Structure 1
Amino acid sequence: MLGQLKVFSGSSNIPLAQNICDKLGIPLGEVEITKFSNENIFVQIKECVREADVFVIQSTYPNPSDSIMELMLLCDALRNASAHRITVVIPHYSYARSDKKDKPRISIAARLIADVLVTAGANRFLTMALHSEQVRGFFSVPTDHLQATPVICEYLLKSDLSNSVSVFDLGQDKRAGKISEKLNIPIAVFDKRRISDTEVQIRTMIGDIEGKNVIFFDDEISRGTSLVAIIDELKKRGAMDICAVSTHGLFNGPAMEYIEKSIVKEVITTNTVYVSKDKLIDKITVLSVAPIFAEAIKRIHEGISISSMFI
């Protein structure tokens, strides 16, 4: 075991950080974060962290640029204050979708930001539901990649799933198998093509959903355009009730209007990203991943394996 366990938070999702600390039975560390009139950000750690085992919690949404800058400054401040180890906890990693060079002369931002945070002082990372498994390899220090599967499955299993089928994007086939096995329901997969940030084309679908209640899984809901297009396609193919599940509910732009007007019965997400009260419409259910992060932090601090949590 290292020095005293301390947890600090940036400004992006303080409620989640506080919930994690409540589960750990420790106070949330005191930090001052100020944005000046010239838009420069100032960070000061307000308590001693010398030789401490520090965890910094910061989702990179909303305001990814400010959130990432805050995180860099927090890491640098903690390193300069002689923290023994700095673990960066990123419940939602905004640039995870920028994971390949699929166009000429572009940056692979997922790797770049990981490198910058290591330079700032991060010794290890703890994150959740990255867009693809390959992003984990972009981190040059030890990285633990968690899933929200336990809390999502626990919630879904409270309902009757006897006439249900789980539906996934073709790129999520490995995760699909694990989730469907836990829910004990069949799988259907589809192939989609993203035309732009606001347009998605659904192509082939494999599996029978006619007359079935569908649980559609995706890693992130942003504007909701993909969600609406997929829901419409599922309904055309004979689906009955449709429920959407997404670990990261960003709900930006017209997303809430799309969801409200759509035929989706329920949208289940988690608090990896702070969901404001104005977005908590009747169709939205927000589950807490604080118990998962708290258990992972406890095990990392105590030097206990967390491999059993990679589900």
Structure 2
Amino acid sequence: MEIIVTPTAEHLELDAARLNSHPQNESRLFPDGEVYVQLESVADIESALVVHSGQPCPNQGLAYLYGLLDLLTKHDVLITLCFTYVPYGMQDKSFYPGTVNYARALLDHVTRYPVRQVYAIDPHFSHRDWVAEYPVSHLHAFPLVQQRVNADLDDYVVVGPDLGAVERFGIPSYEKTRNGAYEVELEGGLDIEGRNVLVFDDLIETGGTMVAAYDRLKSQGADTVVAAAVHGVLDEGIQRVQGTYDGLYLTNTIETDAGNVATESLVQTALE
């Protein structure tokens, strides 16, 4: 099976084919912002694992992905799809009247192609009941994160920054009240006095929830407090967490200088 990475997944250390640049301007973008999709070797491919990250530039990334899936379909390639980070994954239900469950709409779209299996690393919607309707297999990055933490920190307890962590990962956490994009309040107490603590969540966006968790844990007597997350979505949030915690463990599902936990081994499992 051939591995093909879209432009947003090229930072991963995989033996993979990449989309070609336009022969005239050596770019995969036209001046008007439209994407150029060419895979010169497509006629020689029988089956492919397409690897895509939904950040940065989620909309442009989807244009590359849809173009590539269409190209492979026209050449009768058997397709497996792996999202290291699923774009629109946080829009996993219709939150207000007249809105769309965009995560579900995305899976509706990609499975219209002859995609026999979709793999996703810790998608935000993993706990939703509707996911069972799609050929989605969840890949879990926490064991990889924990290996890195174990090398640096002794005798620690794992907590989540809010109740979402309970639903997605089954770990103890606080109850969150959001007061805006950047400010949250956490209620509830955990017995962590004098303990080292790892705060684990699926993603870092603004960093507000993680910072509130750190403040709460320190006020309850925690010793060393480190953060860990699978997906680093926004640089400003990553920097906010780095400036607060005693350390940050972050995977490379999205390209970022802060990524220090490799997930290529998870991607490789989609080949099995």
Q: Please, what TM-score do these two structures have when normalized by structure 2?
A: 0.88
Matches within 5 A, 1:98-137: 98-135=91-128, 137=130
Matches within 5 A, 1:1-150: 5-16=1-12, 19-21=13-15, 28-32=16-20, 34-49=28-43, 52-83=46-77, 85-135=78-128, 137-138=130-131, 141-150=134-143
User: Aligned partners of 1:231, 1:143: CA distance in 2, in Å?
Assistant: 33
Aligned to 1:297: 270
Instruction: For residue 254 of structure 1, report the CA deviation from its aligned partner.
Output: 5.6
Aligned to 1:202: 186
Structure 1 residues 144 and 238, CA gap change in structure 2 (3 angstroms): same
Instruction: For residue 49 of structure 1, report the CA deviation from its aligned partner.
Output: 4.4
Cα deviations by residue, 1:104-125 (Å, 9 ceiling, x for unpaired): 2111110111112223553321
Kept in 2, the 8 Å contact 1:192–1:204? The answer is no
Kept in 2, the 8 Å contact 1:20–1:291? The answer is no
Computed over aligned residues only, the root mean square deviation of the Cα atoms, in angstroms, reads 2.2
Aligned to 1:192: 176
> Alignment partner of 1:291: what SS?
helix
User: Aligned partners of 1:247, 1:74: CA distance in 2, in Å?
Assistant: 26
Verify: 1:155 aligned to 2:129, yes or no: no
Verify: 1:165 aligned to 2:157, yes or no: yes
Letter in 2 for 1:46: E
Q: For structure 2, which runs of at least 5 residues remain unmatched after alignment?
A: 22-27
- 229, 249, 254: which one aligns with 2:232: 249
User: Aligned partners of 1:87, 1:194: CA distance in 2, in Å?
Assistant: 38
Instruction: For residue 51 of structure 1, report the CA deviation from its aligned partner.
Output: 6.2
Q: Please, what TM-score do these two structures have when normalized by structure 1?
A: 0.78
Number of positions where the alignment pairs a residue of Structure 1 with one of Structure 2: 265
Verify: 1:235 aligned to 2:222, yes or no: no
Aligned to 1:219: 202
> Alignment partner of 2:165: what SS?
helix
Letter in 1 for 2:11: P
Kept in 1, the 8 Å contact 2:165–2:172? The answer is no
User: Aligned partners of 1:121, 1:36: CA distance in 2, in Å?
Assistant: 28
Q: For structure 1, which runs of at least 5 residues remain unmatched after alignment?
A: 22-27, 178-186, 300-311
Instruction: For residue 146 of structure 1, report the CA deviation from its aligned partner.
Output: 0.4
Query: Larger helix proportion, structure 1 or 2?
Result: 1
Letter in 2 for 1:97: M
Kept in 2, the 8 Å contact 1:93–1:127? The answer is yes
